[in-house]
Amino acid sequence: MQANVTTLDANAVGSVELDDAIYGLEPRQDIMHRMVRYQQLKRMAGTHHAQDRSEVTVTGKKMYRQKGTGGARHGDKSVPQWRGGGKAFGPKPRSHAIDLPKKVRALALRHALSAKAKAGEIIVLDKAHSADGKTKSLKEAFQKLELSNALIIDGVELEPGFARAARNIPDIDVLPVQGINVYDILRRRKLVLTKAAVEALEARFK
């Protein structure tokens, strides 16, 4: 699969071959959904906590005498049926993470890349570099490329000036190639890969 290579100034500078084993699959929604669910559950803090009857601060004194009142028998006020009592089976701190085989995670990434390629939403950039590190000039360059909502993937290391300038632009995410993931690919309209990122991804999947 051939893809045109462009610069930040929207000038064509040749083309690059995209591996069909990575970008030419028929996208499967179920695999991508499993991966997005895996990522979202893994990032949940799981710090929710409700007090049970052993943790609430109430008196332990018996409410009233056992017999002779004509009402039901009750002990202390920490039980769930009373206002201020503990919660029965309330949430406790735990991990929400689920397991997903490594091969399925890798396959989901290839399907996400293929989905973007099939939709014509992949742009290959010569390099992600900002001469002055200014947000204004980078925003103007993105307007030439018609990028208003995009994920930009560079090589192993980000160019500091480019990353600094891009972080102030809404709906633009910049990640090194080792941070590429299915969730971020699908949540942005365009996927921008530098030539270094394309080479790194091919080496990763080989």
pLDDT in tens, 166-192: 999 999 999 999 999 999 999 999 999
How many CA atoms are closer than 13 Å to the CA of 82, on its beta-carbon side?
A: 15
The percentage of residues in the chain with a pLDDT greater than 90, rounded to a whole number, is 89
pLDDT in tens, 112-126: 999 999 999 999 999
The helix-helix angle for 102-118 and 29-43 (nearest 10°) equals 120
Listing from the earlier edge strand, what are the strands of the sheet with 172-175?
Answer: 12-17, 2-6, 122-125, 190-194, 150-153, 172-175
Outline where the chain has alpha helix (H).
Answer: 20-23, 29-43, 102-118, 135-144, 160-166, 182-187, 195-205
Q: Note the pTM of the prediction, 2 decimals.
A: 0.84
Q: DSSP assignment of 38-65, as one string?
A: HHHHHH---------TTTS----S-SS-
- Alpha carbon distance 92, 94 (integer Å): 6
- Predicted pLDDT at 163: 93
pLDDT in tens, 44-78: 999 999 999 999 999 889 999 999 999 999 999 99
Please give the single-letter amino acid code of residue 170.
P
- Alpha carbon distance 129, 167 (integer Å): 14
- Structural contact between residues 112 and 184, judged by C-beta atoms closer than 8 angstroms: no
- Predicted pLDDT at 136: 94
Q: Which domains does the chain have, with CATH numbers?
A: 2-45+97-205 (3.40.1370.10), 50-90 (no CATH)
- Predicted pLDDT at 65: 94
- Alpha carbon distance 105, 183 (integer Å): 12
- Structural contact between residues 121 and 114, judged by C-beta atoms closer than 8 angstroms: no
- Predicted pLDDT at 60: 87
First to last CA, the chain: 17
- Average pLDDT in the chain: 94
Six token digits for residue 19? 């591996």
- Between strands 150-153 and 122-125, the pairing is unpaired
- Alpha carbon distance 188, 173 (integer Å): 9
